[in-house]
């Protein structure tokens, strides 16, 4: 049984609550923002809002599961985030997070591909390939997340890094020519979106391996839950703002070319 302090319990719960609100606000912003971009980028904005909507739903379920798995009484927290709580008979279901990632991580790459305005064939091939690699990365990571031994965490985490490194190669090398063809006003934002994707996704393995390098108990639980939550905010909401800005800049560039014609 994990021994968690009231401060750690509140920190994690507040992180979940804040992220739910931020993801819902981002969803409304992205979907209402469709009216500010040209038709070519409306699908990208729809997918961007869908990502944050799915994340908001799962953070609601995660926060409900978190509250249900613990009993707080007289400033004392009893229960366990990894096994059944004797008081409530409910366990904290961290699988919600992986279900969310399995849906949203491939879509994050799809929204980037969509906003770049590539040819239909190139958009389809890159979206399918990158989406598959992202789903494979998440699928390989889950057995390590629930592994009892550090060796299992290292093994599955190492396997999950293989599709991640392939994705990094595709983003920096496979999309290099396409990035160079973006309008000058949006090119820097596209590069920033790629960097935000890679850097924010790189934070997940850091959190993932926290439990395999000696961090245990309530400290490990707090680092993992808060760390993943911060990474999700950057990788989905902040990344989505970049996608919106790219769509706006490219829409303005398209209108400028149209007026000159």
Q: pLDDT tens-digit profile of 56-94?
A: 999 999 999 998 888 877 767 776 544 333 344 457 888
In a domain, 1, yes or no: no
238-249 confidence digits (pLDDT tens): 999 999 999 999
The answer to whether the beta carbons of residues 240 and 107 sit under 8 Å apart is no
Q: Is residue 16 part of a domain?
A: yes
Looking up residue 113, the CATH number of its domain turns out to be: 1.20.1070.10
Number of domains in the chain: 1
For residue 239, being part of any structural domain is answered with: yes
Do the beta carbons of residue 157 and residue 205 sit within 8 Å?
yes
Q: How far is CA 212 from CA 8, 160, 209, in A?
A: 20, 15, 5
Share of the chain above pLDDT 70, in %: 89
Does residue 69 lie in a domain region? Answer: yes
pLDDT for the residue 207:
82
Answer with the residue of higher pLDDT: 222 or 51.
Answer: 51
> Which helix (DSSP H) or strand (DSSP E) does residue 73 occupy?
strand 70-73
In a domain, residue 67? The reply is: yes
Give the residue with greater pLDDT, 32 vs 144.
32
* β-strand partners of 70: 79
Domain that holds residue 17: 6-260
């Amino acid at each position: 049984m994990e021994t968690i302090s009231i401060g750690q319990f509140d920190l994690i719960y507040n992180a979940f609550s804040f992220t739910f609100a931020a993801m819902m606000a981002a969803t409304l912003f992205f979907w209402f923002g469709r009216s500010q971009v040209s038709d070519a980028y409306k699908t990208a904005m729809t997918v961007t809002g869908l990502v944050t909507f799915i994340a908001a739903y799962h953070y609601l379920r995660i926060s409900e599961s978190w509250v249900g798995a613990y009993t707080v009484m007289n400033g004392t927290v009893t229960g366990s985030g990894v096994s059944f709580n004797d008081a409530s008979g409910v366990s904290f279901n961290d699988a919600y997070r992986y279900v969310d990632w399995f849906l949203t991580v491939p879509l994050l790459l799809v929204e980037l591909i969509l906003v770049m305005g590539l040819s239909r064939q190139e958009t389809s091939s890159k979206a399918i390939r990158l989406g598959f690699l992202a789903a494979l990365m998440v699928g390989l990571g889950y057995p390590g997340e629930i592994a009892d031994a550090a060796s299992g965490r290292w093994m599955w985490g190492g396997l999950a890094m293989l599709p991640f490194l392939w994705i990094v190669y595709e983003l920096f090398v496979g999309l290099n020519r396409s990035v160079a063809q973006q309008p000058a006003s949006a090119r820097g934002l596209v590069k920033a979106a790629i960097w935000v994707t890679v850097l924010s996704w790189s934070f997940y393995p850091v959190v993932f391996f926290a439990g395999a390098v000696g961090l245990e108990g309530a400290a490990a639980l707090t680092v993992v839950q808060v760390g993943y939550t911060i990474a999700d905010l950057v990788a989905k909401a902040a990344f989505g703002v970049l996608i919106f800005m790219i769509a706006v800049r490219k829409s303005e560039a398209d209108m400028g070319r149209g007026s000159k014609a």
